[in-house]
Structure 1
């Protein structure tokens, strides 16, 4: 991130770092503090590209997964409600800006049927993709182990493979919104691996071994 070109209120940064980001420590391995920090960084880079209000982008990215505290299915909606209900944010933003940030948070989920309603939503949705093949595959294994502990090795692999096909393969539900992001090339690389079933199984086996070591 080009920090020298990003100007954010010092008090806002302190509030987010002290009160918001630490909440991610209670989520599953795929949505820990390192995840939200990476989404923030990528979002701010895209904010520079599109000349968006960086403080708004910062908040949207920071709040985007807070709704995981109430489960996965509707977390994007819960996250938006948490943002809108946070009275502290009114120190820095107008009512209209808060509504716009809430909508952007609601729109970030990859499986949403509709496209993001604003460029703010497109930016955080794109940043949340973070299509790094190795990271994406590891997070997919971690999510399966955390949410389906009753599954054995073969069942976990089937879930892993099916999720990757449903989301990332050709025709999958994942949509990229920012053509200038690095995700497009990374997605092609990931799709090649998904299409190579023997290699995909090898990768899964290694990731599964690492994640279950000592369990």
Structure 2
């Protein structure tokens, strides 16, 4: 990887996430970067592009979660520092990848880079998924009590992750398919799901 690019992003882009909601802070971005680089290496594609895409993919969150994939892509294109390392053609592909990463998108990403960041952003580990949903709920719906937060979480799980949910996996080689199957079993088991929920919720509130 280009060390100058890496240093620029670490010094100027990643710190911006420090004040984002708890589900989209720097730790999440670094997880997406790590998995993106693993997948980029597997497919033999441009590591610098994969790195930058992952670093910028949620940058537009403060302007609205519903359109953050669009505003994040615009922020990448507006950052003229990136022209030191990427051609206009590469930047166009990178912006499209960010636009295509959103989990609710019904369309297949337009490039391997879109598939990589979309897959890396899923990170379907049961505890991570539940923690992010609970953190988002507490941050954006602070008036809900513990039981109401559980109901909100359950609704989101069925809408997105359960059988028939809108989540789509684009890379069969990733670990997400197995992890999604495991999560779906837990969603169906209220006792196990509540055990996870109580542990995570209490740790966040504490």
For Structure 1 versus Structure 2, the TM-score category normalised by the shorter chain is: over 0.9
* TM-score normalized by the length of structure 1: 0.93
Aligned to 1:187: 180
Structure 2's unaligned 5+ residue stretches are none
Aligned to 1:3: none
Aligned to 2:103: 110
Distance 1:38 1:207 in 2: 19
Distance 1:212 1:102 in 2: 37
The answer to whether 1:75 aligns with 2:68 is yes
Question: 2:127·2:196 contact (CA, 8 Å) conserved in 1?
Answer: no
Aligned to 2:25: 32
The answer to whether 1:140 aligns with 2:133 is yes
CA RMSD in angstroms, aligned pairs only: 0.9
Query: 1:12: how far off?
Result: 0.3
Distance 1:69 1:99 in 2: 23
Distance 1:14 1:54 in 2: 15
Distance 1:207 1:9 in 2: 38
Aligned to 1:18: 11
Query: 1:198: how far off?
Result: 2.4
Distance 1:199 1:94 in 2: 50
* TM-score normalized by the length of structure 2: 0.97
**Cα distance per residue 1:27-57 (max 9 Å; x no partner):** 1111111111110110011001111111111
Alignment of 1:41-120 (within 5 A): 41-120=34-113
Distance 1:153 1:160 in 2: 10
Distance 1:118 1:44 in 2: 16
Distance 2:3 2:131 in 1: 34
List structure 1 segments (4+ residues) > 3 angstroms apart after TM superposition.
none
Distance 1:209 1:10 in 2: 41
Aligned to 1:177: 170
Query: 1:195: how far off?
Result: 0.6
DSSP 3-state at the match of 2:173: coil
**Cα distance per residue 1:98-139 (max 9 Å; x no partner):** 011000001111011212111110000000001111111111
Distance 2:153 2:5 in 1: 38
Distance 1:62 1:29 in 2: 16
Distance 1:118 1:16 in 2: 23
Distance 2:101 2:77 in 1: 16
Distance 2:163 2:196 in 1: 20
Structure 1's unaligned 5+ residue stretches are 1-7
